[in-house]
A and B are shown apart, each in its own frame.
Chain A
Amino acid sequence: MLNVVSPQIIAYGVFTGLVFGFLLQRGGVTRYRVIVGQFLFADFTVLKVMLTAIVVGAVGIWGMRSMGLDVPLHIKSAVLVTNILGGLFFGVGMVLLGYCPGTGVAALGDGSRHAWPGLLGMFAGGAAFAFVYPHIKDNLMKAGSLTATVADKTTNKLTLADVSGLSPWWFIAAIAAGALVVFVILEIAGPKAALTED
């Protein structure tokens, strides 16, 4: 149980966590008001941060792959029933707590006292899922599984490029264009986020 990964992997994990936590706090997304404000369309910080991260990240990752570099993907299984059902539970939880798991843990370092009972709830929810898992893995978690054949292998770890047969760059361009339109509209007509003071 006390097995630990190599010092290099530990350093990688710590580095990633430090930078991730720093950026989340600086962005203001470790604040309850900013997260709940997004779902009330009163503050668009979350959408701006996430869409920018997705576009910048996608260009880098798919760009490195296009250049022939060894950048493995880590695609999660397309089981649409549980992807969507889980997402519906998640949305309710995110508004009740005011954080998602990452921002909630980061908020502990940003003076949020009420993120502590939230963390306890997360442990309980994770444990509850572990108990339910054996009962749903052979039915619910297989029922909505979307599979396709990619590189002669049948898999449900699918990307939009896999199922459409189109180049990933079409999707990246579409997401970037969509994000740009959203950003222009928000900057012209969106609510002014009062992020400087809390």
Chain B
Amino acid sequence: MSLLRQKRWNPYLVGIGLGILSWIVFGVMHKALGTSTTIAVAPGAATAAFAPDYVQNQAYWAKYLNPAKGKVFFNWQFFLVLALPVGAWISTLLSGDHFKETVPALWKQRFGPSLIKRSIGAFLGGFLLLFGARMAGGCTSGHGISGSMQLAISSWSFFIAMFASGVVTAFILFGVKGRKNA
């Protein structure tokens, strides 16, 4: 019981947990952990509600939205993504880790307290994330965790590229001074 109430678990314990979750996902469910496909296809599914023909002629969305081939939006990964914030929320309830963040401290030091600036930054970041993830074929879960453990060439290439790009971006944005305050 006390473990469930701890605000933070040791990162190695969390890693072991994610590894074991992957055994169940691969071995029992015959799936691979991933999140970005559902997010990228969501606007297509919304469009299909009033313009189904358009979506069926749109090469990318049609790949993932084809009920005749068993490709539906409300699939395994959709329910995973839906439950994801609920799982995080349950964790905070059990541990009492109440947290609210509108503009992160590190961002504030560099770009000021403006909510609008932060929202634009977050929006742009989200845009690049999904654009990049879909171009590469996966994100930190699909490539970074699931793909790397399968020893996929694509996933290790993605992982190394995104880490290098993230380090360069972080030092350009926040610099050595930001590092001290992080």
Contacts and interface: CB of A to CB of B under 8 A. Distances in A.
Interface in A1-49: 1-5, 9-10, 12-33, 36-45, 48-49
A90 B80 contact: no
B44 A33 contact: no
Contacts of B163: 39, 91
Nearest to A74: B32
A92 B169 contact: yes
Interface in B1-57: 6-9, 11-12, 14-33, 35-36, 39-45, 48-49, 52
A36 B141 CA distance: 17
A37 B182 contact: yes
B182 A16 contact: no
B169 A54 contact: no
Nearest to B42: A123
Nearest to A171: B151
Nearest to B37: A126
Interface size bucket, B side?
A: 35 or more
Contacts of A43: 182
Contacts of A2: 74
Which applies to chain B's interface (DSSP): helix, strand, loop or mixed? helix
Contacts of A25: 87-89, 91-92, 97
A101 B72 CA distance: 20
Contact of A101 (B21, B58, B60, B139): B139
B43 A76 contact: no
B23 to A, nearest CB: 4
Contacts of A69: 27
Contact of B92 (A37, A110, A163): A110
A55 B149 CA distance: 7
Given A20-B83, A36-B104, A87-B162, 6 more contacts: A23-B17, A25-B89, A52-B19, A86-B137, A127-B43, A159-B151
7 contacts: A26-B8, A53-B145, A58-B150, A60-B20, A78-B154, A100-B140, A158-B154
Interface of B: 6-9, 11-12, 14-33, 35-36, 39-45, 48-49, 52, 58-61, 65, 67, 72-92, 95, 97-107, 118-171, 173-174, 178-180, 182
